[in-house]
Amino acid sequence: MDRAEFRVLRESLGLLGSEVAAAAGVGARAVRRWEQGGSEIGDEYADVLRSIAESTQAYTDAMTARVAGMRDPRVVTYDSDEGFQATKPGVPWSARWHRMVAARVARNVPGAVIVYAEDS
């Protein structure tokens, strides 16, 4: 994976470099160097990002199926990391990541609207 593909995939997942670094077991500087072309992205690190992308797609697909089955489709997401982690403690990512998922789900389900959990 080259640096452009890595960065675009990371950003498309709504993740910060520091989040990917933590998942890969490296420092945030390593991710910055990879994306700036200062060092090679090892296959094992590219595989971590691909794995995150696959699990994000599975999460998105499951959420899409739930929302598509609603008579009045609403995609519930979170304004803060605290609210997201309190509601979804097993998901290792941020509320930013979840909002990206929510946007994808809303695009996939005709008539779906996005709301914050506290507003639902």
pLDDT at 7: 97
pLDDT in tens, 34-50: 999 999 999 999 999 99
Residues whose CB falls within 8 Å of the CB of residue 7, separated by 6 or more in sequence, listed in order? 35
Q: Which two tokens stand for residue 113?
A: 């609207």
Cα–Cα nearest to 92, from 59, 47, 50: 59
**Mean pLDDT (whole number) for 53-68:** 97
pLDDT in tens, 63-103: 999 999 999 999 999 999 999 999 999 999 999 999 999 99
Question: What class has domain 3-119?
Answer: mainly alpha
Listed as own residue / partner, the contacts of 100-106 with beta carbons closer than 8 Å and 24 or more positions apart are 100/12, 100/13, 100/14, 101/14, 101/56, 101/59, 101/60, 101/63, 101/77, 102/63, 102/75, 102/76, 102/77, 104/60, 104/64, 105/60, 105/63, 105/64, 105/67, 105/75, 106/75
pLDDT at 120: 61
Contact between 73 and 109 (Cβ < 8 Å): yes
pLDDT in tens, 102-120: 999 999 999 999 999 987 6
Sign of the Cα pseudo-torsion (87, 92, 94, 99, in order): negative
**pTM of the full structure:** 0.91
Q: Please determine, for residue 12, whether its predicted confidence score (pLDDT) is greater than 90.
A: yes
Mean pLDDT score across all residues of the chain: 96
pLDDT at 97: 97
pLDDT at 107: 97
